[in-house]
Every structure is written in structure tokens, then in C-alpha cells.
Chain A
């Protein structure tokens, strides 16, 4: 008995001791993810944070219903063409409300400009700016190149946001602890901070960064826009000239690239062919998004899906009929059966399948074009609906005489043959909008390159700076450089005004410039300077939400909004205050210990308080009461 007790006690004690936990038994062990402490410690780690900024920036333009679509919808140039569902932005005063979710699948992704593409990107950039001196550097150049790129990203977001949302909170440091005490900061002082940061960037960021990364010219390009926004037009001329005169960049005026020996094309075509954008000889490229069909791992490339986003829904079943009353088109590729008959005329492979999340205004398709020699508006660069043919295989089977003939909008009696002219009937610049999509049976836009900044815009920005300076001769010279490259006759200096500059931007930069942001920037400049606009009006900041150029321009040019076109579900409407989008209620509501202002015109603006402002100082400067 005694022996048994002793043996048992020994066994017990051994077991207890055997599994006694070592001191670090409960220490968490992350095995498969990186931590900030061991990653943001050198050039490579910090640069990786900036690559994340690039990815978010690229996603403004890429993907199904990209946020970029909103930049066209809220402008003179386009509107929503999605007629088959509710929830898309058409009746803007009714739909642009602070509580509405602005991230909703195929309806809109506008809200990502605030989150993923906005403050998330600012946070990634602030991580680099805050930790810049915690890392080991080989040289000042190495450090300042990284810091300069971080400043570029932050300035790029704020430049965009102050023109979409107006006054917004300015965050200049990495947030590591819960904070709910933010305040709105003035647009003007945010732009000042951007200018200061970009001036550092243009001094230090490499001129020869890898293609796809931020370089010195990109910083100068953005700085030019910031200078214009601040009304500092001489500085804008200087920063734009720094690109134009750098010996590296210039307009492409001669044929180049894969099709250069093909006489049916021209330099406008060459400039926008996927294969040509990244070529060393392409001097017009400033800043490019690079995607590659063979490099798609782990989100490395994104599909641009631009045809789906912005081409007409020309293949929609029964949308387009022949004058004999039969379904006319199909967006099925060669050999696929439609109603039992195989497709013989393949239109989807050369053009792509569109569903018209954005569709151009009539002005952008027709009135805008003032020169018959304009390469940008000529076949095959520009595709008109009548360049497509009736390809529905059912027509052939029925022996219909229209099979293979060009599409027509009306029959001989004037009867309309397209049941949805908003979504399924408009023209488009195919030279630019076709991005091959080899992994998709019906191409919608694959992993291809896209210009973020291009020298043609630099010229147009400098033309604008000269215009504001009343130097119409130089303004005309810069604008004509772009015009003449496209085969157009030049304008005389007397013809130059902000309207003709905006027209030229529309012709040259469709789906490249952020049309809504640029219109708003011009609206602010007109309000800041009090200059008389070509429409005879003058504007002021005091009643900006009631009377502004952004609204007047849309009403002047975009018949959808001016004539209140009736679409299924909605009637198109716009209002002056929509020049600035509503600050998302989520941000306001969660910020319980501070106060974020709402823009005038929206519910909630009555509790606004005077915004803070940024003032220069040591480090990142200070945010103070006005």
C-alpha cells in the first residue's frame, strides 16, 4: 500500500512537471505574415509600402465599374448608361446623399475614392513618411527618393480629394492608436502642403525610375496641377516646362511602335497601342500603369475592363434591330451558336463587349469635334455605330437582306431601330479603348498598360497656365502642339479661352484625365480669380455651392442633364452643389470626438464649424485654427 502511494505520487509529480509550461508558452507566434517592426526598416520595405500606394492608385482606373467611371458621369463628357437597374448615378440630387453607400457592385464604386483609393493610400504613404528616419540608408539620395515618392502619393490623393470633396481632414502622420478627433482642413491649405511636399519630390525623386513607378516628371506634372489650383500660374508654367524641356519627354509626332509601317494607321493610333505605351522610344509617357497578361500572380496585374465599362451594349439581345424588325447583333464570338446558328461575323473579338457603365454625352461624340481632319475622330481610331454590321446569325438563316450591312439607327420611315439608345448606341475612340483580353471569350479589357500622365496633358496644363496669365499667344502655341499632332488646324490666340482648352482636353484625354476633378479645379480657379468666363459669368467662392462653373459647364454641354432625359428608373438631373460630393456619413458618424464638416447643399451641413488650416513649420508643419 505504502509503496503504491509512493509510486503513484512520483508518477503524478513527473506528469505535472513534465508539462509545466515554459515561460514563453503563451507568446503569440505569427508564422505566415509580416509585421511592421521587421519590415519597414530599409529602402526595400518602405518602397514596398509605396508600391501598395501604386496598386491602390491603379485600381482607381482598373477593374469592373472602376471608381474612374464616376469621373466621367459627373462631367460634361458623359453620364451613366446603365439603364437596366436601379442604384446607378443618374438623378444626382436624389442619389448623392451622405448616408447612401457609394460602394455598390455594378452600381457605383465612387466611395472607394474616399477609402481604398483615398485615406488608405494616405495611411500607406504616411507610414513611409513617419518611419523614414527609422530605416538604414545608403545615402541621402536613396532616402529622399523614397520620401519624395511618398509625398507624391499623398499629394496625389489630396489633390484629387479636395476637388471631389472640397475641405477634408488632413492627416499627416501614421495612425497607430484609435483616434476619433479629426477636423476638416481648408482646401487651400491642403494644396499648400501638397505644393511643399511636391517641391521636395521634384528635387529628389529619380528621373529614371522603373516604368510603372513614380518619377521626377510625374511629380512635376502633379505639381503643375497643384500650382494651377493655387492660382500660382507662373509656378505652373515652370513646373510644366521642367517636363517639356527635360530632354527626355516630348510629344510623339512621328509613327512608332508595332504598327508603324501600317499606312492605315497614324501616330494617334500608335500612341495608344498597348504594346507601344512602355516602349523606350515613347517620349510622351510620363507615368504609366503596367500590367501584363503573363504576370498576374497575387494581384500583380489588374484587368482594366475598360470595354465593359465604357463601350455601348451593342450586342444586347434585341436591343438593335434590322429595318425588317429582326434582332440585328450578337456579341458572341466566331463559331458560337445563337438561336441554333453559328456566328460567322465576329464583332466582339475586335471591339470588345460593353455594358456602358459610362456613356459619352452627345456633345462629346459630335459637337466637340471641330476639325474634319482630326485623327482622334476618324475611322478606325473612332468607331461609329454604323461602322458595325448586322451580324446576328439568325438573319443569315432567315435570308434577311440586312445581314452583313452596316447598322442603322432609323428605318426608311424614320422609325427608331434601337430600343435603348442610351445604353446601346454611341460612338467611341477604339484606338484608345481596346485592351486585348486573351483570357476572356468576350473581351472586356485585360491586363494591359494605361497612361496615368502623358506629355500631351502637360502641354494642355501649361496652355491653361498661360491662359490664366492672359498670355494667349503661348497658350495657343501649347494647345496647338497637341492639336496639330492630331492633324487639326491650329487655333488663333483669339480663339483661346478656358472653354476651348477644356474642349481640347476632352478630345485628347478622354478616359485619361479625371474630367470631374479638372472641371472642378477650373471652377475653383474661376471663383478664386473672379475672372469673367467665356459664358459671360463670374464666380465667387462665397456662393460656390449655388453658382459654379462645374454646374454651368455640364448644363451647357451635357444634354442628359440639361434636358432631363428620361431613362428607365431615373430622370437625369444635376444640381450646383454636386460640384463637391457629400462627405460620407460613415466618416462623420464614427469621428465622435471631433467634427468633420459636410459640404453645403447636403443634409448635415448646418452643423458645420470653421475648418482648420495647415501652416508650415518644422517637420510636417501644423494644423491650427484659422
Chain B
């Protein structure tokens, strides 16, 4: 792909001449002089070319003015030969061992891949170009072993690092979101620690991702790096004439196949009846067929008996009586009798139209290199009215002022519009509800007649929302080159984020009318800066190569928020949030300002001996104001070594091309706490009292948080061992990583007995160990003249264990041994994984013949049956058991790339295996049976018993149903076609590629009986068509 592109760029501007021709011949071999067949031989800058035969020989007729012959072969380094006057060539190709000279970004610097000591994975964004979507994180999903990316359900995409996880969880939090935040990797864009929204980064601007997984490589970011680091490098101008790239993508988002439809009228009535029969026990006892239709009475029940059940003896509208018994409102009865059914899916879901347009200009000369881009994306989602809108722009500029001074900037500006109100589903819209009045255009107030469920489109009509973000992330830098290989770089990195969140709720909505209109207006500003001063020394003395980096860093974060919320707008609320002074009553006027600071000093040495022994050592001191009372600073260090065995003279295994062993140990920190978590803060509020006859405000204060002035960093020490290899002439390459991470001084919300008045206090306690392994295999399966097939497989396994918690011990009354105490409330157990399930075990469903047994637990047939381990007749903690894990045991990704002539097909799948997830939907009580509809899913009845789906509105409190959540997802299938150069030349187009991409094509989850295994509701699939043109 890359080569083709390069070729096409160079070709641009050439005009083909068919005049003079000459014939060249030759033979291609590998280093051991074995002939190589299938090698592509091409006149550089043209499409004139051929392939070598089985004996490695070729013969080619070339234009007279042709100067350079290019030889390329998968797994081998490409080479160009100046032809001169020669007509016969013997070419020796050498194995390309995983692009060993590729430059990898390692944080405050770069290193050649061959010199790496840590576990760093590089992805070239360009390789993902055909499949790329409009968000960065979709590119990363399934691309790297050990990096898991959350499932994306919105058109905006995953945009917060908390939905990413590198290796395993090291931190413990009581709250799921905080847990994710505390385990979020650090994101660094072009050397800037990036705290912005990932959606502000345009994927087309990205050149590479480098993922730092082990402690040694991440140690350079010390205090925040214990969850790994994602380094994003954006594009720069390339040497040569200006390049203009235009890409467009249009497509659609549609509901993925992994979903349940809503019930139709017939299914709805059957479920209603079953719901009433299962629950309204008095009525069922009154008489057989109470809920039956008058046309379908059980034998032995007369119509008069049936009518008399609820005093309907005098009734004439028997269908009305029946429908009333099964909870139909007047409007539903009316629609039923008219035979009018509505499928509310069409008011809830949509097929979204997605579009993404990008334009970039780049180039480079000796004095200046530039990359300028502008992109616009407007993605609609699958939920009605859902859309995401962004304009993103980037300028990367670098100027060589003199031979010793260089200045530049990397600046990213983005506008985001998240205003559209998303219509959520409402089960109150039954098939017999009316969306519109009889006129067909006026929305009904309550479609189903259930007054607590106003028409869900009233939100669109009467709620006005304006949410916009303007952000700028910038780096401005200067580099001075000194003699002796010393350079000094100073960087200033400002970040701005302006957010406006305005809302108004109009009096047009009957429920809001009584308040005389309501509106709120919130403005948030973030200004943050970082300063980096870097001194570097890079020098080679004979076999010794040194690279020394010294960095000084400081940062400050400031946040301001103002909020006003008023109601009773006078004279009217037609101006909504645009005229807040029209409000006559305050609901809330508030402000919140925050401030934090950090600093760091670090030193790193990279030393390479004879280009086969590599050594890295680093040391870092970090400071953070959240720990500023007693422990403002912490120290972190790392050591790592690499040994390229295959470079040794004694190494003589012909089929192994490269073998390198790496080992590292390092310590890292986690500062993932709130800025003020160490301080006690007082909650405030107001209260009303009457003094002197008139009511007025008085203030209240209460302690929210227990202070802990000795709070400090969480520390992770981690070992990593890695083996890189390339065998069979580069046909198969890959690496294996193993690691062991020990996290201590966990920033943990220590559980307190709630009688203290606090639930918990932030403390540094405990120890969590993580171990795991990762395997990557890249294989070239077939490489023929017109057809190639390559496969990338990765596998990651991680398991953690809580080793210590709070250090409280008690003697076990049975064994007499002293044992550290668990935290039962947060379900953290010493010796068990954070994600291990401790819960009641479900044993299927109570069946009809077990009703007496079920009654002992206050359950009925059709309810879930739990195991009462100690048989005491109660379900208590004593009955909870350790079951499986919530996190996958193995994560697998498999990517196959095929190319045939100008076509390329890539198929990416990923799979999470061996884990469990709650599927409480099988308890069948998500929706009130007497006033709403539901998905068309099975339910237990005495006539249709089963062991998975419970009766309608079954007993639900206090337990979960765990199901095997293993799945395989076909995440991305893309087919692309490179338009032939001959055709493009007519239009002076360097290259043009057309592609069709299917995302989230389908998912297979055999043990899971709900919708998408990674999401609990309707999820989107995408189909898009892309055009990418380079001028």
C-alpha cells in the first residue's frame, strides 16, 4: 500500500512515452544465493514491470529513458538499482526483519526499532487508512495485543481514555467510572501530554501510534504512566513538491444485526396476558380465563361468568372489557378496535447518514516543512435525531531558521457540536399507541394514554439544547543545536477548552408550562499549560552509542464554570436561554473553579554497544498538587536491556533471521485522584426558616469528605520480558511479551463503616499484582504476482490478584490463622482478582412442580432459582460464591489482508473469550407488564417453561444472572480498489483509491442471550464508501 502510494506520487507528472525500448534481464536471489521467485521488478516511476520466475529470472522491455529498476518482495527489503547502460542484473535481496530501522517514538525522543529495550508497539496509521473511520479509537480497536478499546455506540465514538485499557487493571475504585478513570492510559500527542477529547484529533492527520506497554518505556512519563502510554504522532510535510490530499467518506449507520425487535400487536397482547396472569394472583383466583379474550374462553366458563368477574355484567363492549383487564388505556382500545398498529421503531431509530471530508496540504523544503489540514465530519447515529458534528484543523510547521536553530508548532483546533437531543427508547409506546392526533401532524400528549409517559418527541419539540466545544491544543517549540551532539529544546504547550451548554424547556410542554418556562446556561473554560525543557546528547564513539535526555517539566490546570438556571420567564419564554434576565425565579446560580499544578524532572540514558547490546536507564521525580500537603514529590526509575542474539557471530541458525531478547524493570506512578481528594470539603446548601414572620434563606454546611493529608502516589513496579523474532526469510515474524506488575500504595477509597458518617476515605493501601502475556504473529501466507495474503494474529492474556487491602487482620475462628480481611462491600477479596464474580449462583428457573420449595424463599414458579449454599432458608452473603471473571481471559485479534491486482481486501475480527457478564434482562422485568411494551423475547409460562428466561416481572432483587459473554466480532471488512495509473494520469492525479468499508458487520456470541455482547442495547453497524485522491 505504502509502496504503491509512493510509486504513484513519483509517477505523477510523468508522461509515458512509448518511443524507444530496450530489454533488460537478470536474476534475483536471497543472501544465501537461493533464487527468489515472484519478485516484482518495476521501472521506477512507471507501471512497466514484471515478476521473476521460479528460478528468480526476469526479462523486461523498458523505455529507453528509464533510469531506475525497483525490486520488491514481501518480507524482503525493497531495493532500487541505477540501470546506467547495463542490461543484465544479479540482485541479492536481504530480509526485511520487521522494519528494523523504523524510528519509534518513546517519549521525549525516538529510537530505532532495532535498539528498543521495552515493550513498544508501533502502528502505522496509513496501514489502517482504508478501514479508518472518523474516530481515532476505532483505528486502535483490535490493532494491538494488550490494548483493549471499548465498544463504540455513538457517532462521536470512544473519546475518553478511560474506555481504553492497556494490559490489566492495577487500580481499585468502588465506582465503575472512577475505576475506568484510574486505569486509563496516558495519551501523548506529538510530545504533548493530551488531556483533551480524543474526538478532537482527526484520524487522517495521524502518522503513527506507539503504545508503551511496559514500565521501562512508560517510566519516562513516571507519575501518570502506570497504565501505559499511547503516543500519537501526526503527519509532517514530506520532502518534495506540495502534496494535496482529498478524502471523502459517505455512508450510513444502521442497527446492527445483534438486536431484538419490538413486539407487534399480537405478540404484545400475548405478553400482556401472560404478565397479568403471572402476577395478578387475585384476579386469576377469581376465575379461569379472567384475562382471556371473550372469543377465547376456557371450556366451562360462560360469557356471563366471565363478565361478572369484574362487575362487567352490564357491559356491551366485551372487547373493551377484556382490553381494560389487560391494562389498555382508552386510546389503545380505540386503536385496537380500528385495527391500527404502530411500529414505534421508526420514531426511535433511524438509518444515519455519515459524511466526512478532509483536505490536507503538505510539503517540505530545506528551510520549512508544513502540514495543514481541515476536516469536517457529520455523523448521524442510529438513535433518532442523534448526530455528531465536528470541524477539525491542524497545522504542523517546522522552520530551520539557521543551522543551529529550529522553531515550530503543532497546533490542533477543533469545533464540536453535541447539541442534538437524542431520543431514547420508550417502552410506554405500545403497538396500539397513537403518535399523532387524528390530524396526523399534531403529536399526542401521551401516546399510550399513560400520563406519566408524555410523548417522547415532545423533547424534540419543546427542549432546546445547545452544546458546543471549541478546543485548541498547541505546542510551540524551539530547538537549539550545540556542538558535540547536544541539543536543547524548549516547548510551551497551552490547551484551551471552551464549552457552552445551554438548555431551555419551553412552556409549550404541558408538564413544564406550570413553571412558566425554564432555562439554564453553563459556560466552562479550561486553560492549561505545560512547559518542557529538554537537553539531549546523542553521540557515537566507535561501537558505543549514547543518547542522553534530561527534561524539566511544569504544568498548571485551571478550570472555571458558571451556571445559571432560572424559571418563570416574563413576559414569555420565547427567547429561551438567550435571555436569562427574563427569568424571575432562580433555581440555581453557581460557580466552580479548580486549580492544580504538577512538575517533573527526568533523566534517561540509552546506550548501545556494537548495535546488539542495548541498555536504557531512567530516573524521574514528579510533583502534583493533589498530594501537595505532605508528599508533593515522588521518585520513579527504570532499567532495561536488549540483546540481539541473531547479530552474534556464533549465531548460526539459517532459518532464523532475527532474534532479540529484551528485559526491563521499572516503577511508575498513578495520580488518578481528584484534584482535591486529600482535602476535607464542606457541602453547602440553603434552608428555609421564618424569622420575624417572613421566610428566608439560611445556610447549611456539612462535611462531605474525610481529609487525608498524607495521600501520595500509587506505585507500580513491573517486570517485562520480550522476545522478537523473524523467521523463514521474514515470512513469519512476531514477538512474545510476558510481564508481572506489582502495584502498591493503591489510591483506594478505603471502605469505612457507614456509622462514621462517611462511606470511604481516599487512602494509600494494598497491593494488586497483574501478570500476563501477549503474542503477536505476522505471517505472509501467499505472495504471488497478482495475489498476496497476509495474516496478523495477536493474543493477550491478563490476570490480576488482590494481594493486600487495608492491612487489617483477624484470626480465623476455624483455623486459628491470622488472615487479612477482605472488603466485602466492594467485593474485593485477598487472593482473588478484582474482576472475579462473587455472587449467588443461579440454578435456572423454578418450575411449576417446585412451587412449594420456591415459596419457602418467597419465590414463585418462573422466578430465578438461586443456590442456598448453607441451606438456612435465606439468601445471605454466606451463599455467595466465587464464579468466573468479568474481564476476558483471552483477547484475540485476527486480521487478514488480501490483495489481487488493484484490489485489496482486509478483514479484521476480534474476540474476547472466557468471561462473564450480567444479563439481568432474562429476569424479564425491564418494563412494566401492565403499561408498556417490550422487545420480542421469550418468557416463562406454565405452558412454555424454560430455564433461561424467567416469567414476566419475575423476582428481581438482590441477585444477578451471569452469562458467558465470549464473542467473536467481525469488526471491520474493507475492500478497496486503486484506480489504474494510466487512467489517472490523464487528470494529473497522483493516486486515487476507492473503498467500501463495513464496520461491526456482525458478532457471534453463543453463550449470550441478549443483544450486543459488549453493549446492552441497539448498537450501530456502519457501511461507508470512501474516495481518497492525492494530487
Residues of chain A touching chain B, judged by Cβ–Cβ distance below 8 Å, are: 1, 4-5, 8, 11-12, 15-16, 19, 21, 25-36, 39-40, 45, 48-49, 51-52, 54-55, 84-87, 91, 94-95, 97-101, 104, 107, 114-115, 119-120, 122-124, 127, 168-169, 171, 175-180, 182, 210-213, 278, 280, 290-292, 294-301, 315, 317-318, 321, 323-327, 330-332, 336-340, 392, 394, 410-411, 413, 415-417, 419, 438-442, 566-570, 584-587, 589-593, 596, 603-604
Contacts and interface: CB of A to CB of B under 8 A. Distances in A.
Given A51-B700, A300-B687, A441-B510, A28 B628 contact: yes
B277 to A, nearest CB: 11
A291 B761 CA distance: 34
B419 to A, nearest CB: 26
B482 A587 contact: no
Contacts of A589: 824-825, 877
B957 to A, nearest CB: 5
A99 B958 contact: yes
Interface string B589-605: 11111111111000000
A325 B695 contact: no
A410 B444 CA distance: 34
**Residues of A contacting B: mostly:** loop
A218 to B, nearest CB: 13
12 contacts: A32-B591, A87-B956, A97-B874, A211-B689, A297-B588, A317-B328, A318-B327, A327-B324, A411-B313, A441-B510, A568-B281, A592-B806
B1010 interface: no
Interface stretch (B125-133, B511-519, B843-851): B511-519
A326 B510 contact: no
B330 A339 contact: yes
A52 B697 CA distance: 13
B894 interface: no
Nearest to B559: A31
B480 interface: yes
A169 B823 CA distance: 20
Nearest to B627: A26
Given A54-B700, A91-B858, A592-B821, 17 more contacts: A11-B480, A25-B597, A25-B625, A28-B625, A31-B594, A34-B681, A123-B756, A175-B757, A178-B761, A298-B684, A325-B317, A327-B329, A327-B330, A339-B329, A340-B438, A568-B282, A592-B810
**Which among B588, B591, B690, B857 has the highest number of chain A CB atoms within 10 Å?**
B690
A504 B698 CA distance: 37
A592 B825 CA distance: 11
Interface stretch (B409-417, B905-913, B925-933): B925-933
Contacts of A330: 451
B811 interface: no
Nearest to B929: A84
A104 B956 CA distance: 12
B625 to A, nearest CB: 5
Given A25-B597, A124-B703, A325-B315, A55 B685 contact: yes
A84 B932 CA distance: 12
B554 to A, nearest CB: 6
Contact of A591 (B482, B679, B753): B753
A94 B857 contact: yes
B676 interface: yes
A590 B751 contact: yes
A411 B315 CA distance: 11
B573 to A, nearest CB: 14
Contacts of A101: 957-958
Contacts of B450: 317
A301 B599 CA distance: 45
Contact of A321 (B312, B623, B707): B312
Interface in B726-760: 750-758
Given A8-B488, A124-B702, A178-B763, A30 B676 contact: yes
Interface string B622-666: 011111110011000000000000000000000000000000000
B424 interface: no
A424 to B, nearest CB: 12
Given A16-B533, A86-B956, A175 B756 contact: yes
A15 B533 CA distance: 8
B311 interface: yes
B594 A34 contact: no
B325 interface: yes
A590 B953 CA distance: 33
Interface in B562-597: 585-597
B955 interface: yes
B877 A419 contact: no
B696 interface: yes
A454 B755 CA distance: 30
A416 B597 contact: no
**Which among A28, A99, A182 has the highest number of chain B CB atoms within 10 Å?**
A28
Nearest to B697: A300
A297 B697 contact: yes
Contact of A439 (B514, B698, B701): B514
Contact of A27 (B333, B444, B628, B697): B628
Contacts of B31: none
A558 B533 CA distance: 79
Nearest to A40: B701
A533 B437 CA distance: 64
B315 A324 contact: yes
B330 A392 contact: yes
B490 A15 contact: yes
A566 to B, nearest CB: 5
Contacts of A331: 451
B996 to A, nearest CB: 47
**Which among A1, A26, A176, A413 has the highest number of chain B CB atoms within 10 Å?**
A26
B829 interface: no
A100 B931 contact: no
A97 B628 contact: no
Contacts of B593: 31-32
B551 to A, nearest CB: 11
A532 B279 CA distance: 43
B315 A52 contact: no
B334 interface: yes
Contacts of B19: none
A86 B702 contact: no
A413 B330 contact: no
B449 A317 contact: yes
Given A84-B930, A98-B876, A325 B321 contact: yes
B878 interface: yes
Given A100-B958, A295-B696, A339-B449, A410 B554 contact: no
A341 to B, nearest CB: 8
